[in-house]
Amino acid sequence: MSKKYFGTDGIRGRVGTYPITPDFMLKLGWAAGMAFRKMGACKVLVGKDTRISGYMFESALEAGLTSAGADVMLLGPMPTPAIAYLTRTFHAEAGIVISASHNPHDDNGIKFFSGQGTKLPDDIELMIEELLDTPMTVVESNKIGKVSRINDASGRYIEFCKSSVPTGTSFSGLKIVIDCAHGAVYKVAPSVFRELGAEVVLLSAQPNGLNINDNCGSTHMGQLQAAVLAEHADLGIAFDGDGDRVLMVDHTGAIVDGDELLYIIARDLHERGTLQGGVVGTLMSNLGLELALEELKIPFVRANVGDRYVIADLLERGWKVGGENSGHIVCFNHTTTGDAIIAALQVLMALKDRDEGLAQARQALRKCPQVLINVRFAGGVNPVEHAAVKEASARVTKAMAGRGRVLLRKSGTEPLVRVMVEGEDESLVRGYAEELAKLVAEVSA
């Protein structure tokens, strides 16, 4: 069955536009509470990022959940991966995050975690959607859920993050600039790195409900690059608004993306004999990552774009490490979902183990030039399925002889075909991309 509300990462949209409205959130809380109660006694954790609409939706969800008989534990502003962790440790039936991740303040959304701290199974999401189409009821007065607040949530999560590195680890002597995106990590991230001995220079850690992800964080790296150079720091770390993405900046001011961070982590685990299998990337992972891992004899596979698909592939294979070039990095040897703080700590440990800087560590991965062209079409037949396009794509792939690749995919939200070609020769790659884009446009006319 197709889903009406749930996308690949919960429910998301513009605040005030259905379904991101208070009345829908009330009904969603009730439907979720009814679904979770089918498992028995029901306890649900609710956390949020720092955007202003989070308070409104928190109240609506709380009313809906309690009307269904679910007990609610409020966490306040906390990173998304913290809710996954705390849902497990409090033995709750589910965790709910009110967040639109890296989007601006006028967007918001809802993410769910299961009692195991993983993405909610499809059958539960479908059950919630079915309940949304039924009349809302209220349990008997003596069965209405209770609400409490967890006051030590931040402290618990800080200790959890620190436990992902060996006891006694110290980053003393390391100067780090941290950009918190005015988001959910603004309290916990500085504490984690300071308590582990690093000197921390803080950026974008004064949330006012409207400035989350506003020209800061992992989607706008300029401020961090400038600060790393001005402070003569060893490196910079940029988080997104809800703390599940991380990118870095080396001491020269160069951006280090998710592919490079994933490589640094995987290489370190491989050298210590604890990698357990291979690495899962996505269709958008740079070919350079695949080639660099191949040199180390580390298996690499590509999942569809989206951390849900990376996680599903890791679980199916029993592997431990995967991620996206956007900075979603999953370390299953420490947690159950993408966690930006934990991923950053694993990178710092890898640098410490090899006694090298971030600029040096990334050199072993030579990123291949990648050209992406968006081609608009009128709708209807998918140009990617056209025989001439398939033939041309196969011809270009063969011509690159394993040292390049072609990816043609139709956008899920717009009438666009994304034509991506990457390889070792930039001029050749651009020529191939323009040739394929022209053909897609011709068959779409």
Question: Which residues belong to the active site?
Answer: 101
Pairing of strands 255-256, 329-331: unpaired
Tokens of 16: 């005030």
**C-alpha–C-alpha distance, residues 76 and 94, integer Å:** 16
Q: With 0-12 CB in 10 A as exposed, 13-18 as middle and 19+ as buried, what is 359? A: middle
Interatomic CA distance for residues 268 and 199, integer angstroms: 24
234 has binding-site annotation: no
- For residue 18 the two structure tokens come to 């259905």
CA distances from 32 to 19, 23, 118, 199 (A): 15, 14, 16, 43
Tokens 């506003």 correspond to: 214
Q: What is the separation of C-alpha 404 from the centre of its chain, rounded to a whole number of angstroms? A: 27
- Choose among 100, 88, 9, 87: nearest CA to 48: 100
**Contact (Cβ atoms closer than 8 angstroms) between residue 404 and residue 287:** yes
d(CA 111, CA 261): 25
CA quadruple 93, 212, 25, 414: dihedral, nearest 10: -100
Cross-strand partners of 175: 199
152 is in an annotated binding site: no
Give the angle subtended at the CA of 54 by the CAs of 25 and 118, to the nearest 5°: 75
| 384, two tokens | 């990617």
Residue 244 among known ligand-binding residues: yes
Phi/psi for 11 (5° steps) reads -120, 125
101 is in an annotated binding site: yes
Peptide bond into 19 cis (omega under 30): yes
Q: Cite the annotated binding site for Mg(2+) by residue number.
A: 101, 240, 242, 244
Q: Cite the annotated binding site by residue number.
A: 101, 240, 242, 244
